[in-house]
Chain A
Amino acid sequence: MTEDAALLASRLGDDALVLGQRLCQWITRAPTIEEDLALSNIALDLIGHARALLTLAGGLDGTGRTEDDFAFARSDREFGNTLLAELPNGDFAVTIARQLVYSHYAVLYYEALAGAALPELAAVAARAATEAGYHRRHADGWTVRLGLGTAESARRMQAGLDHVWPYTTELFDEDEVVRRLDEAGTAPSPAPLHAPWQERVGEVVGQAGLSLPTPRWRAHGGRQGLHSEAFGPLVAELQSVQRQFPGGTW
């Protein structure tokens, strides 16, 4: 069971690491300096979550791998993040849409995980839930502002939601690993959170005068290591220094 728990921790860690890396790509490119600070601070939190979760995963699976081993010494196929996390930034509205759907999920799931049987996982989840709450408020605020802004900002915010929506279902997927953990009472499945998540996001989207998309397809495969075309360059950038100077410290 600890191997399953390790896999869960590494999947959650991968979501946070990859999304954090994506957000870092906004640095010096955000619309205002406050946004530059906001997006990089959120990225910093996410990378903090990833560090704690990946360290935990290395301890649980008995390999003793460090956070750096997970981040820098694995191939693309070994990352278990959802495709949502690796989605390219797009315009600012696409990034906000991605932040909106992810942070609402993160708050709900980390809150549920805070009652997990493994004390260290529960502690990290409890802490991450409050930080994700901060990220959620940021995304909520921008969704409403862009939705109620100009015709152009509303059009782009809706386009952002339409773009990210097919990727959201994967966050709540249940596979063998998740089912076993849930049945053993080690960690809850995210599946039952899909309805409350949709309700909460729907409330914000409604306040923004926008509508919830009804996509005709859904993404899958990320948790099994099947990633999108955009993932290779992201991992290459993330790992470039460690690949050139293996084990280097500075």
Chain B
Amino acid sequence: MTDPLPTDVVAARVCDLPDPELPVVSLGELGVIQRVSKAVDGHLEVVFTPTFLGCPALPAIAEAIAAVLAECGHPDGKVRQAAAPAWSTDRISAAGRRKLAEHGIAPPRPVNAPTPVRLGLGAPCPHCGSAATRPHSTFGPTRCQSILRCTACGETFPYLATV
């Protein structure tokens, strides 16, 4: 049994966990960890926000967080899911966006940004940078991704849909 690690250390480890569906980004970078704090009963509590209410990765995320709590000496720690405030792609950090792009997933545009006016309708291609991309399928391999096709280099690529 290890001595319980301080809250900020646990928080950093929780935030470092990879997202089960997009392992190139961490839960912290994705913005799903709302807070890690001491609850009224004195136990550590992690509150996270589901990206989508029906996201199949939610149980895996909760389990992974619980495992970190146990490893850090907080076996009584609680993991709680909170729908409010709702998750938005605006919560993805700059580092998270960069990593997504490096792995061929076009990062989301800001939620309130106007749709850019250009020939294509989609996000810039993560392979060649061309803006001439077209939507191919609104629903991709996971609930949060759409599929776009680049008319310049011909590649299809996933886009993390703005919500």
Contact = CB atoms under 8 A, between A and B. Distances in A.
A binds B: yes
A52 B53 contact: yes
Contact of A48 (B54, B82, B87, B161): B54
A244 B82 CA distance: 33
A127 interface: yes
Given A48-B55, A128-B53, A41 B84 contact: no
Interface of B: 50, 52-56, 82-87, 136-141, 143, 147, 161, 163
A34 interface: yes
B82 A44 contact: no
Contact of B86 (A42, A44, A119, A127): A127
B157 to A, nearest CB: 15
Given A44-B54, A44-B56, A134 B84 contact: no
Given A34-B137, A34-B139, A49 B83 contact: no
Contact of A45 (B86, B138, B140, B143): B143
B159 to A, nearest CB: 13
Given A34-B137, A38-B137, A41-B139, A126 B84 contact: yes
Interface of A: 34, 37-38, 41-42, 44-49, 51-52, 119-120, 122-124, 126-128, 130-131, 134, 137-138, 141
B137 A45 contact: no
B148 to A, nearest CB: 12
A110 to B, nearest CB: 11
B134 to A, nearest CB: 13
Contacts of A122: 84
21 contacts: A34-B147, A44-B52, A44-B54, A45-B52, A46-B54, A47-B54, A48-B55, A51-B53, A52-B83, A119-B84, A123-B82, A126-B84, A126-B86, A127-B52, A127-B83, A127-B86, A131-B53, A134-B138, A137-B138, A138-B138, A138-B139
Contacts of B55: 48
B86 A49 contact: no
Contacts of A127: 50, 52-53, 83, 86-87
Nearest to A130: B163
A136 to B, nearest CB: 11
A38 B139 contact: yes
A84 B10 CA distance: 48
A134 B145 CA distance: 12
A219 B87 CA distance: 37
A25 to B, nearest CB: 17
Q: Which of A45, A48, A126, A138 has the most CB of B within 10 A?
A: A48
